[in-house]
Amino acid sequence: MAYTETAKVTSKGQVTIPATIREILRLETGSTIIFKVTKNGVLLSPCELIERPAYTVQEWRKIERMVAEKGKVYKTSLAAKKHLDSL
């Protein structure tokens, strides 16, 4: 299916996706889209973001142990990371 619409870019770099295109792609307020630059142009597609935890269960345990060590202060983030790795 080929369908063409045009839109203008605002001074803030924003573009309004035409209503017909939003309907075809089933885009609603808050929908997430992905832009992919290809040799033939730009591909715009709906997508779903899946949240992943920032730390693994093991990393959280290390952090909890580190927090339990009252008064422990590190001068650099590297020193803190070395301590985390040693737990």
Taken in order 45, 48, 53, 57, the sign of the CA dihedral is: negative
Examine the domain organization and report whether 27 and 61 are in the same domain: no
Domain that holds residue 20: 1-50
| pLDDT tens-place string over residues 12-61 | 999 999 999 999 999 999 999 999 999 999 999 999 989 888 888 898 88
Examine the domain organization and report whether 30 and 14 are in the same domain: yes
CATH of the domain at 28: 2.10.260.10
Examine the domain organization and report whether 10 and 46 are in the same domain: yes
Residues 43 and 35 sit within 8 Å (Cβ to Cβ): yes
Residues 6+ positions from 43 with CB-CB distance below 8 Å: 35, 36, 37
| Its pTM surpasses 0.85 | no
Q: Domain count of the chain?
A: 2
Examine the domain organization and report whether 66 and 42 are in the same domain: no
Looking at residue 23, its pLDDT comes to 94
